[in-house]
Amino acid sequence: MTQDAAAGQAPDPALVAAFDAAVAADERVEPRDWMPEEYRATLVRQMAQHAHSEIIGMQPEANWITRAPSLRRKAILMAKVQDEAGHGLYLYSAAETLGTSRDELLDKLHSGRQKYSSIFNYPTLTWADVGAIGWLVDGAAITNQVPICRCSYGPYARAMVRICKEESFHQRQGFELLMALSQGTEAQHAMAQDAVDRWWWPSLMMFGPPDDESAHSAQSMAWKIKRHSNDELRQRFVDIAVPQAEALGLTLPDPDLRWNEERGHHDFGPIDWTEFWEVIKGNGPCNEQRIGQRRRAHEEGAWVREAAAEYARKHGGVKA
């Protein structure tokens, strides 16, 4: 919390003007710089949701580690899931530069006071889902996250540079997995198509509600936390995915999907926002399962955290 907010005072106009000028000039805001309390709170909310999504997002694919069809596929999937844990670490660390703590953020996740991406509340029913998540879900994440590498807040932007490089590996492994299935037997091709059918629309929902229904986008863009609107990013993703689907020999499940010469973009059908909001509210297929597993893992791992803190206290002079 900023000093002005803590004291219940209106911020100094000179500080506000200097902050606005720095953001307008594309200068990076760093942890020790003055910032409006609303800016700090917006960053904490966004980074926390992103970090929570990374660690919750480990669950759907980890479900297939023991059932991967080959040692090579298992090694690739294990590396990917491990990356997601690392991404969560980077993001929690970046959020802590704003005066919050990892314990506080995790407590809010476990109590339902903070959200994670709704895409992870869908089940992974077949091995092809691992490929669909890599190609579509991670592809959507890259489209959404690459602009954040130019975010106005320095620690967030720098964390995203490494995260986006690793997400590119995740997207390519998903594409390659689907290509192998698509070019395999008739049953394998059908399994790949079924996975794409189920993951396409939730992937489009990942960019958030339409611009006219998004509560935070306009201010986040004004502060250059975000660089593009939800609808702009969604359109960019569709335009990227269509030729990739053609290369895979798979069909995107949208009868309204077609190239619009006048717009220079693909038109696509209406998104079921009722489903989106129901999942957000906790009524998705796997909401209870995902957060329940996260709570159990946190509770069962308490002894590891306590042991690490005690070791640090004894050997590094750090208070537990």
- Per-domain boundaries in the chain: 3-269
Q: What are phi and psi of 27, to 5 degrees?
A: -85, 150
Cβ 133 vs Cβ 61: under 8 Å: yes
Query: Which CATH fold would you assign to the domain 3-269?
Result: Ferritin (1.20.1260)
The DSSP secondary-structure symbol of 101 reads -
Alpha carbons 144 and 229: distance in angstroms, whole number: 10
CA angle 258, 262, 263 (to 5 degrees): 70
Tell me the pLDDT of the chain (320 aa) as tens digits.
555 555 567 778 999 999 999 999 999 999 999 999 999 999 999 999 999 999 999 999 999 999 999 999 999 999 999 999 999 999 999 999 999 999 999 999 999 999 999 999 999 999 999 999 999 999 999 999 999 999 999 999 999 999 999 999 999 999 999 999 999 999 999 999 999 999 999 999 999 999 888 878 888 999 999 999 999 999 999 999 999 999 999 999 999 999 999 999 999 999 999 999 999 999 999 999 999 999 999 999 999 999 998 998 888 755 54
Q: Is the pTM of this model over 0.75?
A: yes
Q: How far is CA 302 from CA 58, 83, 95, 305, 320, in A?
A: 19, 22, 22, 5, 13
